[in-house]
Structure 1
Amino acid sequence: MADILKDSPIKAVQVEALVVMKLVNHAAKTFPTVSTGALVGMESSKQPGLLEITSCFPFPTIDVPTTDSHQQDSAANIAAAAPRAKANVAYQNEMIKFLREVNVDANNVGWYTSASMGNFVNMNTIENQFFYQKEPNERTVALVHDVSRSSQGSLSLRAYRLSPAFITAFKESKFTTESLQKSGLRYQDILVDIPVTVHNSHLLTSLLHQLPSDAPKEELSFPPNLAALQQDPNTPQPPFFPNYDSLDLAIDPFLEKTCDLLLESIENHHTELNNHSYYQRSLAREQTKITAWQQKRKAENAARTASKQPLLPEDEWQRLFKLPQEPSRLETMLNSRQVEQYARQVDQFTAGISTKMFAVKSNLLPGE
């Protein structure tokens, strides 16, 4: 990952806190539908390679009747493909023109999207980022906000770019086995993870430090001793202060859902492998037929040579036989990258749960 990041013109992303609040608010309002929008900012002049995102605005939504599942899927696809739609490109240019008039950073630096359970590695994400990244001298990123992960208590905001090797392969639409072996492109090389930091202005930071806490509404208990009375109420509790919530043995529902999605992605991956195996079997059958035909034609030509007759062409097999076309391996690569994303999420959540399960193992399995 460090080698891929070294080739990227953007080494880090700095997002203003106001942009984060707008993005989170937009994603929460449209959940579970995907929310997308444009990012505005500029590259830092003091620190080359640092992309500063100072503003954002959502793309307009298209109301589609949701009477059945097919129309719901079409509405989701329209929302996910909004960043590269022609109408939204014109809308984005118009908005940037208005922002320039009010002295706001008016450089397009990418787009943002919401995700659920880390499910964002798909063709819509790839095509949207390729639409932004194909321009010369571009400085664009894709911000991904995971709504489900953020609901667990920690903000999930990641920035991604397509790697140069994947951009080259995507332009040529060459995702065959031979081309992937020559280029050495792997599923780990599709997306480049860019470090993200949230930035607050100095005025906002000073305001946060000066915000007074609300006065308690319930009756306060008397301090047990003089030391407790003299202790600063803002002093945090010692690290070994008992927290009984951590003893809850219930498995996190986020982990359960992530495991279900992981199994589904693995099944899709096996389906793609079966399709490729069917292609290989079909290719082997056709090549066997071609070999038999060529041997037969050579024998005929040998007999014709002996009888001094004109020879028959030996390249007619190209007209008589049609080799099957190899399916693109792009879907397989995206599936593999999505499986890796789910596996990382499972790994982050299983550490604490596994510890509690081992602690109470004797109670769960009394026979052992």
Structure 2
Amino acid sequence: MAAAPSMAAALAASLPAPQAAPAPAAPTYEAIPASMAKVIDIEAEIPVTTVQLDGIVITKIIKHSREAPSATAHGLLLGLDLDGTLEVSNSFPLPLHGGGDDDDKSTKSVARYQAQMLRSLKEVQSDDSVVGFYQASTMGAFFSQALIDTQAIHQDKLRHGGIVVVHDITQTARGNAAFRAFRLTKSFLDAFKKSNFSTPSLIDHQLTFSTILEEIPVEIRTNALLSSFLNTLTTPTPSPLPDASPAEASTSSLPPSFSNLNLGAIGVVRNLEQVNDALDSYRTEEGNLAYLQRQIAREKSRADAYVAKRKEENASRVAQGLAPLPEEDVSRLFKIPPEPSRLESMLLLGQVDAYGKSLAGITSAGLVKMYAAKANSDI
């Protein structure tokens, strides 16, 4: 019986000794190069200083604004922020938001459409990161409660706060594609989160209609193929005819446009109507605020008179050796309304200012044209 263990021991000794498993090498991490440290902005510490719009985005926004039934065209902007530049590479329109009894149903429908579009873009390996939204406007007047509310939500939810790109349809109709990018200021956001736009709050935050939004520079980016195509359209080519007139010696794919020489007051009447409507709305809002202020002052005077009368009665009772009457809560006896919000009046002032600047631009250009025509006609 003792031979079995010895044989097992001899067999085990004849086998090669098992090799120890090599210890796993410690992982090494390469430091992020200095050139990429700003690009890989994980914590969103680099503020956005420039908005870069692709040519396809410009085309989509102009097409949507032109085909929209009214100046309410809006949609989402998609892209990525790199080294302080918000690169907008794609966009898609959103359906019009209905009102009335179907307001909640319309909101859910728009949310479903937005989620479906983002999901479809992700499936085709396209940019699906929302970086803001765009809004069409007429004559530069884009101040509205809806724009402020939407931008406030974006700045609270999105990575870098998001931006709103405003497209002026009126300027585009005159041949000038006007695109401006904005975001809400920190002082306005502070007052907005507190829902306090009373007079003391506006003074503390130094808020006016010009400090609601801050503008960000906009750049337009086109690829090399599109730039080459535009150059071929604008570069004149010599005429193949040997006896061509000087006017036809060189031609281009784009015919000359003389719309800038039109002396007609294009848009002046409509602009004046918009100014008058905005001023009427502002006057109505100021009248409502004045009525509420008088109502608040009336209730405060009644409360102060009640407190003064109660103090006189208590002083008289103490002089007679009687116990003073208990002091009652004035806020329960008198319903003093809170001070009204002045946000709507600020937005209306912003619209009046925008219409005024647009009117000044139209009239100044028309005045220069008339002086030029007068000089050429020797009148």
Same-fold status (TM-score > 0.5): yes
Structure 1 runs (4+) deviating above 4 angstroms are: 211-217, 219-222, 231-234, 355-361
Compared with structure 1, are the counterparts of its residues 335 and 221 closer, same or farther at alpha carbon in structure 2 (3 Å cutoff)?
Answer: farther
CA deviation string 1:42-75 (max 9, x = no partner): 112xxx221111111122457x7xxxxxxxx759
Map of 2:182 onto structure 1: 160
Offset of 1:211 from its aligned partner?
A: 5.2
Offset of 1:186 from its aligned partner?
A: 1.8
Matched, 1:264 2:299: no
Offset of 1:347 from its aligned partner?
A: 1.8
Counterparts of 1:41 and 1:359 in 2: how far apart (Å)? 46
Counterparts of 1:136 and 1:359 in 2: how far apart (Å)? 51
Matched, 1:292 2:296: no
Counterparts of 2:139 and 2:158 in 1: how far apart (Å)? 33
Give the unaligned 5+ runs of structure 1. Answer: 1-6, 65-72, 235-242, 362-368
Matched residue SS, 1:31 = coil
Map of 1:178 onto structure 2: 200
CA deviation string 1:258-295 (max 9, x = no partner): 22111211222222222222223223322322232222
Of the structure 1 ranges 178-187 and 25-34, higher mean CA displacement relative to structure 2 is found in 25-34
Counterparts of 2:326 and 2:270 in 1: how far apart (Å)? 62
Matched residue SS, 1:310 = coil
Compared with structure 1, are the counterparts of its residues 316 and 245 closer, same or farther at alpha carbon in structure 2 (3 Å cutoff)?
Answer: closer
Give the unaligned 5+ runs of structure 2. Answer: 1-44, 253-257, 375-379
Offset of 1:334 from its aligned partner?
A: 0.8
When the two chains are superposed, the root-mean-square deviation of aligned CA atoms in Å is 3.6
- TM-score scaled to structure 2, two decimals? 0.74
Query: Aligned to 1:187, which of 198, 209, 223?
Result: 209
**Amino-acid identity (%):** 33
8 Å Cα contact 1:36/1:112 also seen in 2: yes
Counterparts of 2:259 and 2:223 in 1: how far apart (Å)? 37
CA deviation string 1:302-357 (max 9, x = no partner): 22112222211234433322212211111011111111211221121121233466
Counterparts of 2:81 and 2:259 in 1: how far apart (Å)? 47
Counterparts of 1:163 and 1:157 in 2: how far apart (Å)? 19
Compared with structure 1, are the counterparts of its residues 212 and 333 closer, same or farther at alpha carbon in structure 2 (3 Å cutoff)?
Answer: closer
Matched residue SS, 1:134 = helix
Counterparts of 2:260 and 2:95 in 1: how far apart (Å)? 42
Bigger relative contact order, structure 1 or 2, given CA contacts below 8 A and separation 6+? 1
Map of 1:53 onto structure 2: 88
Matched, 1:276 2:289: yes
8 Å Cα contact 2:53/2:89 also seen in 1: yes
8 Å Cα contact 1:15/1:196 also seen in 2: yes
Counterparts of 1:145 and 1:31 in 2: how far apart (Å)? 16
Map of 1:310 onto structure 2: 323
Counterparts of 1:223 and 1:320 in 2: how far apart (Å)? 92
Map of 1:32 onto structure 2: 70
Q: Which amino acid aligns with 1:51?
A: L
Counterparts of 2:46 and 2:356 in 1: how far apart (Å)? 26
8 Å Cα contact 1:9/1:139 also seen in 2: no
Compared with structure 1, are the counterparts of its residues 220 and 273 closer, same or farther at alpha carbon in structure 2 (3 Å cutoff)?
Answer: farther
Compared with structure 1, are the counterparts of its residues 245 and 337 closer, same or farther at alpha carbon in structure 2 (3 Å cutoff)?
Answer: closer
Map 1:301-340 → 2, pairs under 5 A = 301-340=314-353
Map of 1:199 onto structure 2: 221
Q: Which amino acid aligns with 1:38?
A: L
Counterparts of 1:128 and 1:154 in 2: how far apart (Å)? 27
Counterparts of 2:233 and 2:370 in 1: how far apart (Å)? 42
Counterparts of 1:74 and 1:216 in 2: how far apart (Å)? 62
Q: Which amino acid aligns with 1:305?
A: V
8 Å Cα contact 1:10/1:139 also seen in 2: no
Map of 2:156 onto structure 1: 134
Offset of 1:201 from its aligned partner?
A: 0.4
Map of 1:347 onto structure 2: 360
Count of matched residue positions in the alignment of Structure 1 and Structure 2: 324
Compared with structure 1, are the counterparts of its residues 216 and 258 closer, same or farther at alpha carbon in structure 2 (3 Å cutoff)?
Answer: farther
Offset of 1:197 from its aligned partner?
A: 2.0
Map of 2:37 onto structure 1: none
Map of 2:265 onto structure 1: 251
Bigger radius of gyration among the two: 2
Offset of 1:136 from its aligned partner?
A: 5.7
Q: Which amino acid aligns with 2:179?
A: L
8 Å Cα contact 2:71/2:138 also seen in 1: no
Offset of 1:124 from its aligned partner?
A: 0.9
Compared with structure 1, are the counterparts of its residues 19 and 264 closer, same or farther at alpha carbon in structure 2 (3 Å cutoff)?
Answer: same
Of the structure 1 ranges 136-145 and 326-335, higher mean CA displacement relative to structure 2 is found in 136-145
CA deviation string 1:191-243 (max 9, x = no partner): 122222221101221233345989999x998537xxx89x6556xxxxxxxx7
Map of 2:52 onto structure 1: 14
Q: Which amino acid aligns with 2:142?
A: F
8 Å Cα contact 2:237/2:251 also seen in 1: no
